[in-house]
Structure 1
Amino acid sequence: MTQSFHENASPRRWYRRRTALALAGALIVSGTAAVVAGPSAQAAVIDPAAYYQIVSRHSGKAVTVAGQSTADGAVVEQRTRADVTGQQFQFVDAGSGYHKLRVRHSGKVVDVASASKADGANVVQWTDNGGTNQQFRVADTDSGHVKLINRNSGKALDVRDQSTADGARISQYTDTGAVSQQWQLVKVDTAPAPKYAGYLFSYFTGENTSAGEQVYFALSQGNDPTRWRQLNGGRPVLTSAIGTRGVRDPFILRSPQGDKFYQIATDLRMYGNGNWDQVQRTGSKSIVVWESTDLVNWSAPRLARVSPDTAGNTWAPEAYYDESLGQFVVFWASKLYSPNDPNHTGTTYNRMMYATTSDFRTFSAAQVWVDKGYSTIDSTLTKHNGTYYRFTKDERSSSQSACGKFILAEKSATILNRNYSFVADCIGNNAIRQGEGPLVFKSNTEERWYMFIDEYGGRGYVPFTTTDLNTRQWTPLSSYTLPGRPRHGTVLPVTQAEYDRLLQRWG
């Protein structure tokens, strides 16, 4: 259903009747249901939930974010019409008859650079900051097209020099009524708007400071998973004073009903210790658990024992809800020692373990999930089209394997299969010295996945991306902004309401 773009019509009956006639004449079917203007200055009708191409009258080309960039300051230009999200805009009510033009692929909005009021000022995309230079009035013309008038400058969006070429810049110019300032709004036949409005990043920062082994939060800039802002002023959001009094490798997940969140983490504090051998022999057999119904109010942390007596450590716990079991499958890495070696003095290696639970309080007996005959840790899962994709750190040294200290990818039709099929190994070795703690998540807006790999002893997380999970070709991102130096954590998609709550509480 469409609704009126403006709601301030005169109460006089004759004017309302004329406006209604104009609205009826404004809807023209042209391939993809074009929305055009009638003669009244208040006649434009736009579906606020839809996306539109903004097509120039004089060139027939569409307003486009150059190169599908997600960066602040990316150029806005005209290009031949194509089925790309960098040409799709949502008209978001900004009040007083003005709207923000939100770009579908980046979540950013159309912006007159530097809030300029000058003729010829460049138009770019920028993070929505509420500025009047990011707000436009839709003004009808007598040609079935509209003008887009900037609230800050009073000037019209214009194709520079009335060019008809691909790549011509979009700028602002005094409203002259020229055809280069007239636009047709073409509704795009697309899927519904994304369910999620952004991402929450849960992580720790390392053992080099007393507060580094606690839980930190960051929020993405809208649906851009390459740009992040720290929450709570860069201080921990959740802290643990139980168990070892430190937590690492935090993992956050949503319940299948969507009404509860669980934050789990490794019970381990290395600050002031540093004995990695000892903590794999006599480390914690428990994970740390928090619960929340809204992401901002959290329970006190509690210890939940998951590992058997033969385990020397319980590292990097994650969980995935298995619909066939009706349970969460919780998995982690442990070194297992012989029952005849109660002091764990022997030689062994890390295996991936698992247990099931419905409430993160009571767990089934732990079982081995991954045993390759050598040490593996830090498994993570994602599911796509009925297939589970598992990513795991190969703990062998580079002298033992060319792919040691990088990421192994496998897949299976069932989550608890002991024999996943090989997909790829050595993931990350084209861009980082060594990697662990992979986190994988799907884009909220397109068929694309991101993997952050923790370059431990180096930069911390480095982002990679792919459009095909059945590949070794994970491309490192050349441009990104992470929140400080995050270490092994999780990215969770969040709704607009959840995003707003997090920003209000810790922004």
Structure 2
Amino acid sequence: MRKLLYFVLLVFSFSSCAVAQEQTAQDDVYLFSYFKGNGDGLHLAYSMDGYEWKALKNDSVFLKPTAGNDKLMRDPCIIRGADGRFHMVWTVSWNEKGLGYASSEDLLNWSEQQFIPVMAHEPNARNTWAPEVTYDDEKKQYMIYWATTITGLYPETQSEKDDAYNHRMYYVTTKDFETFSDTKLLYEPGFNVIDASIVKDNNRYVMFLKDETREPAQKNIKVAYSNNLTGPYSAASPPITGSYWAEGPTTLKLDDKWLVYFDKYIDHSMGAVQSEDLKNWVDFSDKISFPEGMRHGSIFKVTKAEFERLQ
């Protein structure tokens, strides 16, 4: 009798665990941080399935930019840190030598906005574009990375078009967003590169990036890999996007399927591709919906309770 009772309790325990895990998955809500226009501030959209995205707060601004001289907020990237807080970095200007940073516990009340002068040491740096932040759970630190043109570097890929920008990816690391390492080169793929977005995939890191080459025009999304967050990263893959111009990739993994979203900025719309192996990609732009006028940003998850507070 005791053995039978133990067996019943064991089965019930496993069943309850399965339900709890399923419930936890259902409790997650996907949020997409984005901007509109030239960088009006932080907007948030939500989705339950990764396909239909709707704006929160009637598409109004959650946070207006105050950092930097030009006070823009473009390319907002938000992650939940190891401390449980939400950490955000963004582009503050087309031509300043730093980036914006703020943090929040609830996405409603934000810390004082900071300007972090990550390229101030470089006299020939022209800009600091599309910063992102990724947490390194092995080294217990964050890496902030962005694209910068340094006049005179990499003349072999220089073009006079696109205002002669010729970017490479750079980074700093930090444990507390108060002190930062020296700025270092992150990725030199042999072409003009911007808009890197890095996620961990088991024991490796996957970098989605934009090939910004103008002559002959690429303007597409590619993929590179590394065993370490700070690199070195592999050569870039063939394009995973189509003949349209695309930028600002961000990714969401649903079960075994990779979904990569991006900005079809010439067409004034958002696009997306999906893959199960990171090699073979299918365009499913016609199956997704986004708020009108949305520009690119990043995807992260919140709980149902956190989501309800945002409403």
TM-score by length of 1: 0.53
Question: Structure 1 CA distance, aligned partners of 2:134 and 2:247?
Answer: 19
Give yes or no for contact 1:196–1:493 (8 Å, CA) kept in 2: no
Question: Structure 2 CA distance, aligned partners of 1:195 and 1:321?
Answer: 25
Q: 2:294 aligns with which of 482, 486, 489?
A: 486
- State the match for 2:174 in structure 1: 357
Aligned-residue offset at 1:325: 2.5
1:297 pairs with 2:297: no
Aligned-residue offset at 1:368: 0.9
More helix as a share of residues: 2
Question: Which segments of 5 or more consecutive residues in structure 1 lack a partner in the other structure?
Answer: 1-27, 36-46, 52-89, 91-189, 269-278, 340-345
Quick one: structure 1 residues 347 and 227, their matched pair in 2 at CA, closer, same or farther if it must change by over 3 Å?
A: closer
Aligned-residue offset at 1:320: 0.8
Question: Structure 1 CA distance, aligned partners of 2:172 and 2:282?
Answer: 30
Q: Deviations over 1:36-56 (max 9, x none)?
A: xxxxxxxxxxx78756xxxxx
Q: 1:461 aligns with which of 249, 264, 270?
A: 270
Aligned-residue offset at 1:477: 4.0
Indicate the percent of aligned positions where both proteins have the same amino acid. Answer: 30
Q: Deviations over 1:451-498 (max 9, x none)?
A: 1111112133212222222x1414324322212232120111111221
Q: Deviations over 1:90-131 (max 9, x none)?
A: 9xxxxxxxxxxxxxxxxxxxxxxxxxxxxxxxxxxxxxxxxx
- State the match for 1:214 in structure 2: 41
Quick one: structure 1 residues 427 and 286, their matched pair in 2 at CA, closer, same or farther if it must change by over 3 Å?
A: same
Q: 2:216 aligns with which of 366, 386, 400?
A: 400
- State the match for 1:412 in structure 2: 226
1:439 pairs with 2:266: no
Give yes or no for contact 2:189–2:235 (8 Å, CA) kept in 1: no
Aligned-residue offset at 1:361: 2.5
Larger radius of gyration: 1
Matches within 5 A, 1:25-44: none
Give the letter for the 1:370 counterpart: Y
- State the match for 2:281 in structure 1: 473
Tell me the SS of whatever aligns to 1:453: strand
- State the match for 1:203 in structure 2: 34
- Pairwise CA RMSD: 2.8
Tell me the SS of whatever aligns to 2:151: coil
Give the letter for the 1:326 counterpart: K
Give yes or no for contact 1:356–1:363 (8 Å, CA) kept in 2: yes
Tell me the SS of whatever aligns to 1:194: helix
1:325 pairs with 2:145: no
Give yes or no for contact 1:285–1:312 (8 Å, CA) kept in 2: yes
Aligned-residue offset at 1:371: 1.5
Matches within 5 A, 1:236-247: 236-243=61-68, 244-247=70-73
Equivalenced residues, count: 291
Q: Deviations over 1:51-80 (max 9, x none)?
A: 6xxxxxxxxxxxxxxxxxxxxxxxxxxxxx
Give the letter for the 2:295 counterpart: R
Give yes or no for contact 1:465–1:477 (8 Å, CA) kept in 2: no
TM-score by length of 2: 0.84
1:378 pairs with 2:195: yes
Give yes or no for contact 1:50–1:193 (8 Å, CA) kept in 2: no
Tell me the SS of whatever aligns to 2:100: strand
Q: Which has the higher contact order (CA 8 A, sep 6+)?
A: 2
Question: Structure 2 CA distance, aligned partners of 1:242 and 1:191?
Answer: 41
Question: Structure 1 CA distance, aligned partners of 2:42 and 2:22?
Answer: 36
Question: Structure 1 CA distance, aligned partners of 2:86 and 2:164?
Answer: 38
